[in-house]
Structure 1
Amino acid sequence: MIIDAHVHFWNFHPVKDSWITPDMEVIRKDFLPADLESCFLDHQVEGCIAVQADQSEVETIFLLTEAESHSIIKGVVGWIDFLNPDLEERLKHFSQFEKLKGFRHIAQAEKKGFLLQDQFIKGLKLLHKYNFTYDILLKADQMVDAIKLVEKLPEQAFVLDHCCKPDIKNKNTTLWNEQLKILAQNPQVYCKVSGLLTEADWNHWNEQEIFNCLDVVFEHFSIDRLLFASDWPVMLLAGNYTKWLQLLKVYTKQFTETERNKFFSGNTKAFYKI
């Protein structure tokens, strides 16, 4: 059994999705659950967590609507304005949706320190009250913010997206390794194993450099707090679903069947309560 802990769906719009630049032609189009169903069937993937890609409550509602009509979506990570004075009212509203599991802000696009604002942290403190998780999306050079953030919120369930994006392409991963080790010491922080192909050279990545990063991630978090994820369709920039899944199946042969089951589905089920 496999559950993909991180996929995106969107109706492409060049303004709303301006982060998808012209050199990303392969993903400058619509991607919806129906486009993934046959791939999941081929690879025996039971379902996925649909994660926001746009900073709006409209996005959250869009994903929840898709989840209602597509059983492959087992949970949704939406967006909400953590700086909104009426945040708790919005959380109360969204708490009625069973498939809404948590929230994310695209903090990698913000200045360092964004996650550490008093108002933002005040908002995050409310998530535990409503049993919502929080996905941390940062670049490697912003990881110090994540380290400080999780220390301030010891009861909150966090998951780090895309291994915090090590700079594989430029072979600049030393600081990432050191800070990831610190972050992983917090037992409430999980990590999605995804996004590594797109942090390497899209056209010339090799298995060994990916495995070197996996060694770091698995050492620091252990297999008990790691979630299989694809980052589809963004991952199509540097590969395809089959290549990524096969790469991780090869790497995880060193673990027991019980441990592999945790990585490919059990940890995601436990973290997102599905």
Structure 2
Amino acid sequence: MRIDAHQHFWIFNAERDAWITDDMAAIQRNFLPTDLAPLLKENGMDGVIAVQASQSVEETQFLVDLSTMYAMVKGVVGWVDLQADDVEQQLEQFSQHRIIKGFRHVIEAEDDPDFLVRPAFLRGIAALTKFKYTYDLLIRPRHYASTLACVAQHPNQKFVLDHMAKPNIRSGEFTAWAAFIEKLAAFPNVYCKVSGLLTEAHWSQWMLADFKPYVQHAIACFGKERVMFGTDWPVCTLAGSYADVVRVATDNLSDFSAAERDAFWGGNAASFYNV
């Protein structure tokens, strides 16, 4: 099974989706499974992991509802208030929906560099471990240290790094990012999504070579058994097509065996998300 391990659906709401700014006007509209279906077919993909794009319980239910109508949705990464006193009760209720595989908080939008190590948040991560849910790490450089500290405190929690921690490919910054990736990959319970890279490069001027040092470093650090393909569709369309994202990934698989390619294109995601 070939799985796009990271994409989004939404019915656009300008107030709720304020993160989609005017320079992203091309995606200030609805994106639903019917829009994605032909792209999956054209690129030989069998299904997707639908990831939350807004921070509400309603968002989680929206993705669950879509999964009941569209077989392409193989798993849901929803949102829950991990700092809530009743987070365990909420997770207990969510557990009736087997399609929910894990949760995410948009840490990159948090100014606090130590958000991930707030006591209430750490309790929330512990609750995810108890209920065998995954956690997607969406971070910026200011969160590097707290990410490492958070992961270190939860050796039994399954984590996956979204978008390779969004390296600044546009500016060519590499050293600090590479050092962080090496440290994070040392934790065997952390996986990495090769996803969301087009929008970290020059949107209209990128070349395949721009991505190679970053992707190769991530693969070298995490190993071929802990990396997975994702697109970040429809956000990726700001800088290229679905096929372009596939092309960037394919360009970095020349030394993968057939089995390792199968794992990258879906097997690792299926294992991580228990699809």
- Give the TM-score, by structure 2 length: 0.98
Deviations 1:36-93 (A, max 9, x none): 0111111110000000010000000000000110000000000000111111110000
Deviations 1:232-264 (A, max 9, x none): 000001111111102212321221001001100
Count of residue pairs the alignment pairs up: 274
Partner Cα distance (2:136, 2:168) in 1: 20
Give the counterpart letter for 2:97 in structure 1. F
1:270 positional shift: 0.3
2:75 — aligned with what?
75
The answer on whether the counterparts of 1:198 and 1:237 sit within 8 Å (CA) in structure 2 is yes
Partner Cα distance (1:195, 1:157) in 2: 20
Write the mapping of 1:141-156 to structure 2, written as runs, cut at 5 A: 141-156=142-157
2:138 — aligned with what?
137
2:122 — aligned with what?
121
2:99 — aligned with what?
99
- What SS does the aligned partner of 1:254 have? coil
Give the counterpart letter for 1:97 in structure 2. H
- What SS does the aligned partner of 2:225 have? helix
1:270 maps onto 2:263 in alignment: no
2:251 — aligned with what?
250
Partner Cα distance (1:39, 1:48) in 2: 12
Q: Which runs of 4+ in 1 moved over 6 A?
A: none
Deviations 1:125-160 (A, max 9, x none): 011111100001001342222111100001000000
- What SS does the aligned partner of 2:228 have? strand
The answer on whether the counterparts of 2:104 and 2:137 sit within 8 Å (CA) in structure 1 is yes
1:28 positional shift: 0.7
Deviations 1:144-189 (A, max 9, x none): 2211110000100000000001011111121000111000000000
1:160 — aligned with what?
161
Identity of aligned residues (%): 41
2:226 — aligned with what?
225
Give the counterpart letter for 2:211 in structure 1. I
Partner Cα distance (1:171, 1:44) in 2: 32
RMSD (CA atoms): 0.9
1:42 — aligned with what?
42
Partner Cα distance (2:142, 2:239) in 1: 22
Give the counterpart letter for 2:195 in structure 1. S
The answer on whether the counterparts of 1:141 and 1:176 sit within 8 Å (CA) in structure 2 is no
Unaligned runs of 5+ in 2: none
Unaligned runs of 5+ in 1: none
Write the mapping of 1:193-212 to structure 2, written as runs, cut at 5 A: 193-212=194-213
Partner Cα distance (2:117, 2:165) in 1: 17
Partner Cα distance (2:176, 2:36) in 1: 36
Moved more, 138-147 or 155-164: 138-147
- Give the TM-score, by structure 1 length: 0.98
1:183 — aligned with what?
184
